[in-house]
Structure 1
Amino acid sequence: MTKTKITNKNVFAAMERLAPKSLAYDWDNVGLQVGSFSTPVKKIMVTLDVLEEVVDEAIAKNVSLIIAHHPLLFKPVKQLNTDKPHGRVLHKLLQHNITVYAAHTNLDIAEGGVNDVLCEKLKIKNTKVLIKERTETLYKLVVYVPQTHQEELREVLGKAGAGHIGNYSHCTFQTMGEGTFKPLKGTNPYIGSQDKMEFVPEVKIETIVQESLLNKVLAATIATHPYEEVAYDIFRLENEGKKYGLGRVGTLEAELSLQEFSSLVKKQLDIPGVRVTGDLDRPVKKVAVLGGSGEKYIRAARNAGADTFITGDMTFHTAQDAWQTGLAIIDPGHYAEKVMKEAVVQYLENEFRENGIELLASTANTDPFTFI
């Protein structure tokens, strides 16, 4: 069997299914950073940062595409000076035809992204969004289909992502009825003849669709439906859709002391140490997590009922204020976001399992700090 040729564009599309660019903050720079959409892909490397050590590793391992969490191009480039680190990085990437793509705040916010991976590793359950940024709009899709094709269409709708309510999929409602139409000149009807009124036993199928999946579901519907012209209605709903936002808050499987939980964080995130505020003997039950720099969300963690907040880059006075209000802080550093490497590699392996693409996580250490 001939394998489908995969280009950067295909990989970018897969990444945007995981972490839609629409979720990113408007100040962020996500997506293609350097390179081309059309370059064929054979080997992909996932990294937290795009430093020179990472680019050298990519060159040595014959990587053509780097997927990064932290954008390489965050501020406008005013000078490409190859005597300086940033200039050398860009020069090497272009010289060796290596493309760079970044998923940053969109990967922080996305379901299955950085914060969900952190919660999974730390055994934090029953999670909810910590800082809500947006709620996805829901639509009702109503499609009229011949009774002979209703089962096929229902299955296609479900596979495309329609009809998801909580932990249930393929949710639809059917009403039997009779459809009428008269094919006019120039038509090629599936049922009936030109200039003759037709009466067909039909089913009205109603289902719910997330805004992000609406175009995909419509395309699948039209491709499957037997009619030359598909009759359907779309209604915007007031029902509250999925919440998206930064951070997560949830509960531990079993209560631990702050000392025990801090040790678990250190072990599970494979880091040399953590900074902790609070009584080490106090119990930890409800935990807020925000990968990267989260000190400005102290109040959100406290308002969510968390007794402990895990985030990086805490400054002295902010940590002191949290400590005085009774909120314990565990600071594993910004580099704890490296958990995204393994998660993204696994996701892309599942997406391109049949296409012979090699995936690897960068082994370069991009943490600027050393614990002594």
Structure 2
Amino acid sequence: MTYTFSQITSYLESIAPLNFQESYDNSGLLVGNPNTEITGVLVSLDTIESVIEEAKAKNCNLIVAHHPIIFKGLKSLTGKNYIERTVIKAIQEGIGIYAIHTNLDNIKDGVNAKISEKIGLINTKILSPKNNTFHKDTNDEPQKVGSGMIGELSEAISATAFLANLKSKMNLPLIKHTCLENFKDQKIKKIALCGGAGSFLLQEAIKQKADFFITGDYKYHEFFDAEDKIVICDIGHYESEVFTKDLLVDFLKNQFSELEIIACQTNTNPVEYYF
């Protein structure tokens, strides 16, 4: 059986509708003709030149990426930066690029659900739901739509034990976090999180009495906002969202079992660590 780009994208948009994305975002089909017949799908966190090369090598002519390679309008295509070079290469190789970004962040079964699953949270719910916005999940149940997620550990543990578990489960090289002094003699259980850059959700996490708030891209001065009420954990942008590839592969394989659907093996993290 053959499928076109539009059949894949329509299915993904039934899970995470484009109108759920934030106003600054640019999710959707960015490169390619919707009527193109698919040879294979490569699922990636980012789309850069080396990802295009991997897609070509694996005979995948559609890349489904979490992050859009194009955020702002392109006024030229001369190859002067990695964005233009990636788009040019995709067009030259006949490879489509589809992005499913904050619309996937904002559904209950999306990016934050995957992080919650990885670290063992139960009783999860959207941390900051949008007013009067609902969507049916994969079990056909109406769910709130919004940013972040909050849930509980199955049993309360010490703060240091939680950090060790977080580092292991998320395969982290390190964790930047605020002071544990106020939490050293108590067990922690309630965890709030947001994949990517989620500092805007800190006050909501505090309001809902979370012990820890996990996200990425925290700025120096923003760490002071914890004010000993919560432990902020910056685990890195890439590290917080890399398992989104597994989430999308599972979604697609569930619906298109005959198609070649592959998780990208290229490490697209632009940040490296010296130990």
Does residue 242 of structure 1 match 2:239?
Answer: no
Structure 1: give runs of 5+ residues left out of the alignment: 139-159, 165-240
1:365 aligns with 2:267: yes
Q: Which amino acid aligns with 1:340?
A: T
Query: What is the CA-CA distance between 1:334 and the residue it aligns to?
Result: 0.4
* Structure-to-structure mapping, 1:214-293, within 5 angstroms: 242-279=143-180, 281=184, 282-293=186-197
Q: Which amino acid aligns with 2:218?
A: M
Cα distance change, pair 33–242 in 1 and its aligned pair in 2 (3 A): same
RMSD: 1.8
Change (3 A) 1:137 1:63: closer
1:41 aligns with 2:38: yes
Contact residue 108 and residue 125 of structure 2 kept, 8 A: no
Superposed CA deviations along residues 111-152 of structure 1, whole A, max 9, x for unmatched, are 2110011101111110111111133469xxxxxxxxxxxxxx
Cα deviations by residue, 1:6-42 (Å, 9 ceiling, x for unpaired) = 1111100111122111211122111111111011112
1:15 maps to a residue whose letter is L
Aligned positions, number: 267
Q: Whole-Å Cα distance in 1 between the matches of residues 68 and 12 of structure 2?
A: 15
Alpha-carbon separation, structure 1, partners of 2:265 and 2:187: 36
Q: Conserved in 2, the CA contact under 8 Å of 1:250 and 1:287?
A: yes
Q: Name 1:60's counterpart in structure 2.
A: 57
**1:99-119 per-position Cα deviation (integer Å, ceiling 9, x unaligned):** 000111100011211001110
Letter in 2 for 1:294: G
TM-score norm. by structure 2 comes to 0.92
Question: Which residue is 1:217 aligned to?
Answer: none
Alignment of 1:124-135 (within 5 A): 124-135=121-132
Measure how far apart 1:365 and its partner are: 1.0
Contact 1:46 1:68 in 2 (8 A): yes
8 A Cα contact 1:24 1:30, kept in partner = yes
Structure 2 CA distance for aligned equivalents of residues 134 and 120 of structure 1 = 25
Which 4+ stretches in 1 moved above 4 angstroms? none
TM-score for the superposition, normalised by structure 1: 0.69
Identity %: 35
CA distance change for structure 1 residues 91 and 110 in 2, over 3 Å: closer, same or farther?
same
Matched residue SS, 2:29 = strand
Secondary structure at 2:43 match in 1: strand
Give 1:350 shift.
0.8
Q: Deviations over 1:280-319 (max 9, x none)?
A: 7353210101111011221011011101100101111111
Gaps of 5+ in 2: none
Match of 2:106 among 83, 105, 109: 109
